[in-house]
Amino acid sequence: MPTGRRWLSAAEFETLLDAGKIVDDLTSGDGV
């Protein structure tokens, strides 16, 4: 078992995905 980090729960993973989508929108400008 890895000791440096733990597995993300489904909710935490979804939160990270949502945050990544927001970052993608911001870095892509106005978006399409």
On whether the CB atoms of residues 26 and 18 are closer than 8 A, the answer is no
The CA angle 12-19-27, to the nearest 5 degrees, is 160
- Write out the chain's pLDDT in tens, 32 residues: 555 566 778 888 899 899 888 888 888 776 55
Question: How far apart are the C-alpha atoms of 25 and 8, rounded to whole Å?
Answer: 24
Alpha-carbon distance of 29 to 31, in angstroms, equals 5
Three-point CA angle 7, 11, 16, nearest 5°? 80
Query: How far, in Å, CA of 32 to CA of 3, rounded?
Result: 42
